[in-house]
Amino acid sequence: MPKLGLLSVSQIKLNTNGFEHVKMPKAGFRIVVSVDKKLEAVLEDPKLRKLIDEACQKAYKKFLLQTAKRLQKFEKLFAGMLAKGAAPAAVAKQALILKNAMEKEVPKWEKLAGRDALEALKKLAAKKR
């Protein structure tokens, strides 16, 4: 089955200007699905392709929202640690560990988004018949 790229973002962009301690992971975001000939033909219809693109954008926005919420929680946690007298180097180390962990989580989100896009594609293919 051929693989189709439905969404590709070279660098995840999330506004982290207000954060002092946490940083956004340096990663891209891609939604790739394996489709058969029938589903590939459905993507040639511009209206259906637009609906699939909207579903992919929705999945990406959900990822960004969840990531922003997590970063806010950790920013608050790190600020609290510093307020209680934690060493700045220790907090910086924890922030780096968080960033690396979030970079490893991106493929999980991509896989989930791909699964959601494939389900949406199958539903649209069933309606088109």
What is the tens place of the pLDDT at every residue in 47-89? 888 888 898 999 999 999 998 899 999 999 999 999 999 999 9
Where residue 129 falls among pLDDT bands split at 50, 70, 90?
low
Residues 113 and 63: beta-carbon distance below 8 Å: yes
Residue 3 to residue 71: CA distance in whole angstroms: 32
Per-residue pLDDT, 80: 94
Nearest to 13 by CA among 5, 3, 23: 23
Nearest to 14 by CA among 76, 61, 73, 77: 61
- What is the residue whose two structure tokens read 């040639």? 44
Domain boundaries, the chain: 3-128
Given a cut of 70, whether residue 128 has pLDDT beyond it is: no
Write out the two tokens for 65: 């929202």
- For 33, the enclosing helix (H) or strand (E) is strand 29-34
